[in-house]
Amino acid sequence: MNKEKKGLTLLTSANLPTVFGEFTISIYKSSSPKSVISVLTIGDYKKSPTLVRVHSKCFTGDTLSSLRCDCQAQLHKSLKMIAKKGNGVLVYLDQEGRGIGLTNKIKAYALQDKKMDTVQANLALGLKADQRKYAEAAGILKILGLSEIHLLTNNPDKIQQLEKNGIKISKRIPLEIKPNKFDAFYLSTKKNKMHHILHQV
């Protein structure tokens, strides 16, 4: 396997048994921006087209189980679906708060507490509504030998960016989570202002 591509370097790999299934975790170093990318694989993931989730880090959701977003539920559902299929990949990007970082994310939360939506809050901080980039995710998939995938996502921008960087999305697999009273407005903003494909909002 080619271990380096466009500033991505494989640092280490190990077995990772989880409540969802037995994965292999690999850690890649990114040169621009300097960060680490975690990749979980299971089974014969090179069997094309494989099931893939590209997930952006969410400390408040993934780790602290915040109900302000659907991130943890999407992460867990993705791992369950990939494990059930028996082969697939999860790319975990260090792009907290849609790329604005944890501190700015909490600042945005404070503005949302004052009735701004997630887009308005980011713009009020002088930031873009979504600063995430997916070129490195595409690079990881190419290192893994994947050029055509089934992608778990509701986000058209993610599809466009991956395809722009040479990954064919032959099928989009919806990853919709039922809203709760804390994230319903957040999800409606994602649908109405960021054009996420959501039907339960």
pLDDT for res 161: 95
Alpha carbons within 13 A on the beta-carbon side of 59: 12
Give the start-to-end residue ranges of the domains of the chain: 4-95+132-194
Which one is the CATH code of 4-95+132-194: 3.30.470.30, 3.90.380.10, 3.40.50.10990, 3.40.50.10070?
3.40.50.10990
Region 156-171: mean pLDDT is 96
pLDDT for res 1: 42
Note the pLDDT tens digit of each residue in 32-63: 767 899 999 999 999 878 999 999 999 999 99
When pLDDT is cut at 50, 70 and 90, the band that residue 3 belongs to is low
pLDDT for res 12: 98
Its pTM surpasses 0.85? yes
- Catalytic residue positions, numbered: 130, 132
Sequence-ordered list of residues with C-beta below 8 angstroms from that of 44, at least 6 positions apart, any chain: 87
When pLDDT is cut at 50, 70 and 90, the band that residue 129 belongs to is confident
pLDDT for res 187: 92
112, pLDDT greater than 90: yes
Region 176-196: mean pLDDT is 92
16, pLDDT greater than 80: yes
pLDDT for res 182: 94
3-class SS letters over the chain: CCCEECCEEEEEEEEEECCCCEEEEEEEEEECCEEEEEEEEECCCCCCCEEEEEEECCHHHHHCCCCCCCHHHHHHHHHHHHHHHCCEEEEEECCHHHHCCHHHHHHHHHHHCCCCCHHHHHHHCCCCCCCCCCHHHHHHHHHCCCCEEEEECCCHHHHHHHHHCCCEEEEEECCCCCCCCCCHHHHHHHHHHHCCCCCCC
